[in-house]
Structure 1
Amino acid sequence: MTQVGEGQDADETTPPVMTFGAPTAGEVLAERYELVEHINNDSAGRLVWRGVDVVLRRPVAVVMRYPGGDSATEMLQAAVAASRVIHPNLVGVYDAIDEAERAYVVREWVDGHSLRELVSEGPLDAARATAVGNAVASALAAVHATGMVHGNVHPGTVMISDDGRVVLADARTDGADSQENDVRAVGGLLYFALTGYWPHAEAPLHGATAGHGRAAIPDAVRDANGAAAAPRQVRAGVPAYLDDLTMDLLDADIAPPSSDVLAAELARLDVPEDDYLDANGPLRFAAETGEEPSPLAAAGGRKVALGIAGLLALALVGLLIGISTLGGDEDEPQKNPVAAPTSSAPVSEEPAAPAVRNLKISAARIIDPDSRDRAEVRDAEKVFDGDKDDGWSTQTYRGASNFGNYKRGMGVWIDLGGEHTIKSVQVNLSDTGASAELLTGTIDQPSTNKGDDEILKAYKKNPIGQPFEAHDGTTMTFNGFDADQKYRYLLFWITDLPPNGSGYKVGVNEITVQGS
C-alpha cells in the first residue's frame, strides 16, 4: 500500500526525516486526527501517515512537513484550493493545518496503488489505459473549470483504488505550470500506461534515467534525435487511434485540446462492446449506452482526421461528377434518361436535431449558505456516481420541516463542464414529501457561506419549470428549459424536508441530465 504525498514517492535511499517532535503512532493531531501508521516519505521529505478521524470515525491520509510557516505555504494553499473542487476522480481534501513547527494536510485515504506501482507489474491494455486517461482528464476538467491548475500530474499522483476507482491527488499551486501542461501530462500517463516507459526526457521522474528502487521509471526508447518511439513501436497491440492521440498530446508543435474536450474524446473511444468505460467510478470498460463510438473523435489525431477528410473530399468529387453526367443540358435530350424517384412527403431543409443523451456531470458540490459548521457539504460526488441507492443526504433537523427554521434551504450545484442544450433533469430522492425547485445561473463561487449565498441569490432569478411542493414521489423531473438557450450550471434547491421518524431529512441519490 502506497499513499503518495505532495510529490513523487521516495525510493529506498530517501533518508527518514528526523526532526524534533516527530510524530509517533497514537498521537492525535488537532484533537481529531489519530496517527496509526507511517506509510512512506515523498521525495521532498514529507511524511505520509495513515490515520483516523476520531470524530467521524473514517480513515484519512495525513501528509506532514517540517517546519510549517512560510515553507509550508505552497502545500497549504494547494490543499485549500483543492478542497473547493469536488469530483469523483479527485482525492478529497478534508483539512489543512499549520502549527508553525510543522504543517499537515488531511485528505481522503485511498485503499489501492499508484499508477506507477500498477504498471510496474506490466503495461495496461488499451481499454484500461484509456479508462485511466479519461478519469484523469475528467478530474482536470473539473479543476480547470475553476480557473486553477493541477500542476502535478504523473504516475505517482494517480491512484487506482481496490474497487477500481481512479483518482488524482496532490495538486500544486506554485504558479510554475499551466492548464496546457496538465493536458499534455495526460499524454505522458497514456504513454507510460501503454509501455511502462516515461516519455519526457527533459523532465524525467525521480530516478527515471539512472534510477533504482521502486521509484525508478525507465526512460522511453529514443531515436538519434532524442524523440521517443511511438507506443506501437514499443509494444504490439496498441490501437492506431490511441497511439496517434498519445503522440499528438506529447508533440509540442500540436496545440492540445482543452481538458474537457480531451475527456469527451477519451470517453468515446471505440472499445469492445462487452466492456464499459466509466470515468466517474469503478472501471467497467464499455462504450456509453446510447452512443455510437467515434473513432475520429477518439483519435483526436491529425493523421486520422486528414485521412478521413481526404476520403470525404474524394467522395464529394465523385458525387459532383455523377451529378454532372446524369444532369446534362436542359435543351439536350438525355441518351440514357433515369427516372427520378418522386415522393409526396414534404422536404425539410432544417438539419436533424441532435440526439438526446445523458450529459456528463463534471463536478458537483453542496450549497449551504446558512450553515454553521459546513458539516453537510461532503459527498456531493455521490449524486452522479450511477448508484441510485446511495447518495448525499442532509442531517436530521428537528422542530420544523424547513431545516429547523434556521436555514433557507440546501441544494446540490452541478457543473456540466461546458454549455449544453438541456431537455430535462431528473432527481432521485430517498423519500417522498420533499419540496424543491431547479434553478440555473452563470456564476461559480468558492465553497463558503458567502460564495453559496451569492450563487443562491443569482440563481433564484432563473427558475426552471415549476417547483415541487411536498412531492408524493421520490423522482422529480424538470422540463422547463428554453430550447434556444444553452446551460452549464444548475442548482437543485431543497426548501422543505420530509419527516423520518426522529425529525426531518432527505437524501439526493442521483441526478441525471438529458440533452445534447
Structure 2
Amino acid sequence: MGIRTRGGSLAPGSVVGDGRYRLLAQFGIDERAGAHLWRARDGQLRRDVALTMLVGDPADAEAARLARRTLERAAHAAKFGHPGIARVLDVLSLGSGISSSEGLLGIIVAEWTKGTDLVDLVAERPVEPGAAARMVQALAESVERAHQSGLVLGLDHPQRIRLTPDGRLRLAFPGPLPDATLRDDVKALGAVLYLLLTGRWALPGGPPGIRTAPRSPNGRVLPASSLEPNVPEELSALAVRTVEDGGHGGIRTSAAILKVLEDIAEAAERTQLINPVEPDPDGGVWTTKKPVKDAARRRKLALGVTVLVVAAVGILAWLGMMAISFFQDDPSASGPAVNLADPTPTQQQPPPGQNQDQPRSPAPDPAATGDPVPPAEVTVYNPEGEGDGVANAGRAVDGDPATIWRTDQYRQQFPAFKSGVGLVATFDQPIDLSKVKVTADSPGTTVEIRTADSPDPQLDDTRVVASGTLEDIETELSLQQPASTQYVIVWITQLSSDGDQYVSEFGELQFLPAG
C-alpha cells in the first residue's frame, strides 16, 4: 500500500524474526502503539502470515514494558479460536526470536487473511447499509465470544480488519494496546459500522488515508444518516450510540449490538417476504396487511362528521322553534304574555326565604389556568443526534392542528435505537407552567413533560414534571404544581405503533400557565 515506515530496515524483501519471515507488503501502521502491519512469508513452513511488528527503541524501558504487555495479551489470545479472528501462531520478543539490532520490541505472527483491506473497501463509496449490517453482525459475534472468555481483541483500528472472500469481517492483525478494554472493542464495532456506512472513521488514532467523522459543535459524532441519506435511522443511531462515551442510552456491550442487528435483519427479512398486492380477477383488491394510519384523512373525516352533527342539531332546533311558534299562535294554547324585560326563563331564581336582592356567590371557575402562552421558538430535542423532522418543528405550535410535526419511522420501539425524541419550547421569559395540552392523532404515545435550564441540555439534567399516554385527539398533561421555567421539553419515550412501524406526531402543543 506504499505506507511509509519509521524503521529503514522494514521494507519489502527484508527479513525479520531471526531471518524466518520475509516481508512482502505493508498494510498499515497503528501509530498509537508503533505497530506496523505486514504480510510476510514464513520461510520454514512456506506459507504467508500476518505480522504485527512493534517498532521501538529497546533501550526505552517504558516502551519495552508496554510492548511486553501487548505481547502477553496476544499470547493469551492464541488459545482462542473463532472464524472472525485470525489465529495467533507465534509471539516473538527481545531475546526470543528478535535481536536488538532489528529495531523491534516484538512481533505477533498470525495466519494470513485473504480478502480486501477495509480502507480499500470504502475508498470509492460507502457500503450498502444492509451489507454493512451483516458484516458487523459477524464481527460482533466474534467479539462477544472473545469477551465471554475474558479476552480483549484490540480491533479499534480499521487497518487491522479485513473483509474475507465470503463477505465476513475478520480481525487480521491481532495485538491489543496495553491499556485496551472490553469497552474499546465495543466502540470499535460502532466505528467499523460508521466507516462502512459513511467512509469515515469515528475514533481517534485512525490512519491518514481515511477521513475522520464530522462532529457537531458540542463534540458529538454526527449521525451517519445526515451524511448518507440512504442509511436507515436504526443503523445510524446504533453506530453513534456505540461510539460515544457516556450519555443517556449508550450501547456498551457486544451482546446489545448483536441484539439490535439481529432485530434489523429480522425486520428486513419480513419486509422482503411481503408480496405485492395483486388485483382480484373480478376487479376487487384483497390484502392481509394492516391499513396504514393516515392522520390527515382521519382529521378530515372527523371534521366532516362534526359538520353533519352541527347541521342536524340546527335543523332539529329550527323544527322545534316552528312547533312552539305554531302553538303560541293558537289563542287557546297561549299562556300569559311574556315581558322581555323580565328575567329570562333560564335565569336561576333564588330559593324560598332568600332575599332576592341579596347577592349570590359566584360559581367557582373550573379552569385553573390562563390563556396559552406561545413559545418564542420550538426546535427538535434529541441529545443523541440530529433529531427527527427538524425542518417541521414549528408546525407543532403554528395554531393549526392540521399541520403536524412527525418523528421518523422506526422498525423497533424506543429505546431500541434511541432513548426518545421530542421538542423543546423556548419562551422569551419564564412562565409558571401549569399544564401542556397536546393535540395529536398518535394513540399509545407516551410523553414526558420536562423542564430545563437551557435549550440544549443533557437529558439527565432535565426534570420530569408531568407525564402521560396519548389516547384521544386532545390530551392535557397537568403538573402537580406550577413550575417556573423558560424551557419546556415534550419528550416522547414510547412511539405510537402501526403494525411493524413505530411513529408519533404532534398536531399542536399549547403551554398553559397557572391562572
Name the TM tier (shorter chain). 0.3 to 0.5
Q: Which of the pair has the greater relative contact order for Cα pairs under 8 Å at 6+ separation?
A: 1
Bigger Cα Rg = 2
